[in-house]
Chain A
Amino acid sequence: MENGSGCLNGSGAADSAEKAQQQQQCPAVQLSERNREAVRVIGQYLRELGLARSAEALVLEAGCPLESGAAAQFRSSVLLGDWDGAEASLASLRRALWRESSWSEIAFRLAEQRYLELLESGAHIAALCVLRGKLTPLQLSPDRLHRLSGLIMCSGPEELRQLSGWSGAAGGTRQALLDSVEQFFPPSVMLPPKRLSVLLDQAVRAQVSRCRHHNTSLSPDQLTLLADHSCQAAASVPSVCSQVLDAHQDEVHVCQFSPNGRFLATGGRDCVAIVWLVEAAANPPGAPRVRHHLTLRIGEERGGVAWLAWSPDSRLLLACAAEEATEVIVWEAETGDCIKKLKHRDEDSLTTAAWLPDSNHFVVGGNRGHFYLCSVDVGFEKAWDFIRVVALATRREDDGGTAVLAADTFARIRRYRFDTMQDETLFREDGPVMSMSISQDETLLAVCVASAGVHLWDLRLRVCRRRLHGLTHGAYLLHASIGGPNQDFVASGSHDARVCVWHRGCQAGDGAQQHLLPDKLSGHGGLVSCVSWNPRHHGMLASASDDCTVRIWLPASLAAAAQAASADGTGPGGAGFSSNGCCSSTVSKHQPPPLL
């Protein structure tokens, strides 16, 4: 029997006398139950660090020993190798066990350590005595007994250690034995091993799972304890508008960064596709700015640029026009030369497109039921009949071929292989699909569903991983984009003239609802239709809006540097950043904040 408080009466008379003396020496500090536990845990921590004198001083002053007298006796006996003493202490602790049956297990482990140490030091006769006299009578699992008796044939300590997996008397095995025995006793008798370390680790992990913008690769034990962990939004999440690009004459409907992150293509109702260059300033490094490169016309009779697609090698740009578009145009981005004008039939309507990995073939389609595989060299190659295409993406498959992913007007997302003419429905959405965007590593698909938000699908498991809410719905097409170094960020346009940025949420167990609400970036004067993450400069986001401008958003720390380095007058407009849910104001870095 033991009482719940940390002060357990010791088993020997000497102990209690000593204790009485101690209590007379120091003034009694009244400690609550929780405080006693805290002191015990701290004392254990100090002792584990090797600060034994501090631990003793703590025990003296607080007047509550770390563990019961018998347990302390047991511990010191084991660490010194006094096996008989250890057995005696164990006998007195026997009644404190959770379960009576574990006593034989502990006795076995104790004897096992003794046996192995004797073998290691070469005292085979003594070892054999232990085997016969201590281990066998316990009548525990015969396999273990058998294995132990087999070890007696080892020729030397090296072989013994190798065969048994035991690291030797000097290898911390005595401490390991103590750690393994602690679980059999209630905490009031013996503390669980490394209790304070475990508690601190749990706290840090909980903070990490609440971190809204978590994007660090540091493990929990590398994070500082001195402040609650929350990744600096300033370093990773775009929050400041660093540039407003106003070269367009009418609403901008599409914006796309090239796969190598060097170009930005934008297009809209003014029937013009503009190619911009992304320049990362050398000094200070990592502050990207965008500069006008080329203006490409698609002709006035079409309803404006509906879609822009970059070839995977970032060399070619493909433009689709709006509803009545019968023709798609391919330019070379660097020079602006028109490489191809592809037209198949007069009644075609080709409003969306995607490239295949060879940067020569591409697929085009529209909701009047035209779905073609074409190439830059040959032109029209193959048609797939009777599919009303809403959005397209491509994905490399395990057998080396490429699958075309198409969302259609029946809200199905299907997979088409133009080489084998096989098709398959991957999943079905529960509302009309507006657009679709695949992540750079081709594992995630962001589907914009009308009046429902952005749904993130895992393409390998074919399940919906997340439903992202918080954007404002309406009658117009919105596009989303997946970005960030680990595909952690999703951005989309919104009908309330703001850009929505979600962080996908870190590890599992983050039931916190706040992760699903986006950060909203204000600044545009009209509906934001399309957004695009820069695949190389991870915090850089472009947004296209009906206010005829394209805005470039950067994380606050980069934007400050970009502003300082800007030569021309396109300064940032008023930048607003409001985050939903509680935003932790403390920030953690790798080094602890300096002591004042």
Chain B
Amino acid sequence: KSPGFNASYSMGRLHIEHMGGERVFSCANCDCPLTNRQQLISTRFTGATGRAFLFNRVVNLDTSELQDRVMLTGRHMVRDVSCRKCKTKLGWVYEFATEESQQYKEGKIILERALINESEGFPDPVKD
């Protein structure tokens, strides 16, 4: 029994969002929903574990502090992202690209293919 401020890693019930979509990507470790196929921009990226995907928008992520990284494509300012539920590191988000040709990545998220699952969702509701 622990009265007073609870220091365990999860407090309260996390608010988990869900983006819907017919093909849903979720965390391979805890199955927390992250994003879907509609948000996928490119599959031609590489991360620490191999293949990585670039997504437009991903939910349920925690971000790290800003890091200065030199990559194959140039120098970027990135933050590591991890699953909000199980804290597993999943990839990174581009915050700033020094080279103009790379600026399209700003604000987009890289998730490593080996760390996420793809599963069946269902059709999104029609706009009404």
Contact = CB atoms under 8 A, between A and B. Distances in A.
A476 B13 contact: yes
Interface in A401-436: 409-410, 412, 425, 432, 434
A525 B5 CA distance: 5
B4 A410 contact: no
A529 interface: yes
Given A409-B18, A477-B14, A386 B122 contact: yes
A246 interface: yes
B6 A547 contact: yes
Nearest to A387: B125
A459 to B, nearest CB: 18
A526 B11 contact: yes
B21 to A, nearest CB: 11
Nearest to A324: B31
Nearest to A434: B15
A308 to B, nearest CB: 13
A477 B4 contact: no
A548 B14 contact: no
A322 interface: yes
B14 A476 contact: yes
Interface in A227-264: 246, 249-251, 253
Contact of B12 (A246, A412, A476): A476
B82 to A, nearest CB: 13
Please classify the interface of chain A as helix (H, G, I), strand (E, B), loop, or mixed, using the class held by over half of its residues: loop
A525 B12 contact: no
B4 A547 contact: yes
Nearest to A450: B15
B115 to A, nearest CB: 20
Interface in B1-29: 1-6, 11-20
A547 B1 CA distance: 10
Nearest to A351: B13
Contacts of A385: 122
A529 B13 contact: yes
A246 B3 contact: yes
Contact of B2 (A306, A369, A450, A548): A548
Interface size of A as a range: 20 to 34
A367 interface: yes
A546 interface: yes
B50 interface: no
Given A385-B122, A386-B125, A546-B6, A251 B19 contact: no
A386 B12 contact: no
A546 B11 contact: yes
A460 B4 CA distance: 43
B12 A409 contact: no
A245 B105 CA distance: 51
A476 B128 contact: no
A548 B3 contact: yes
A253 B13 contact: yes
A472 to B, nearest CB: 12
A527 B5 CA distance: 9
B125 A477 contact: no
Given A525-B5, A548-B1, A425 B15 contact: no
A475 B60 CA distance: 9
A386 B21 CA distance: 11
Contact of A251 (B11, B17, B18, B125): B11
Contact of B3 (A253, A323, A529, A549): A549
A155 to B, nearest CB: 69
A361 interface: no
A526 B16 CA distance: 20
Contacts of B33: 367
A548 B11 CA distance: 11
B84 interface: yes
Nearest to B30: A323
Contacts of B123: 386
A388 interface: yes
Interface of A: 246, 249-251, 253, 306, 322-323, 367, 369, 385-388, 409-410, 412, 425, 432, 434, 450, 475-477, 525-527, 529, 546-549
17 contacts: A249-B1, A251-B6, A323-B16, A367-B33, A386-B123, A409-B17, A409-B18, A409-B20, A410-B20, A434-B15, A450-B15, A475-B14, A476-B15, A477-B14, A526-B5, A526-B11, A547-B6
Interface of B: 1-6, 11-20, 33, 84, 121-125, 128
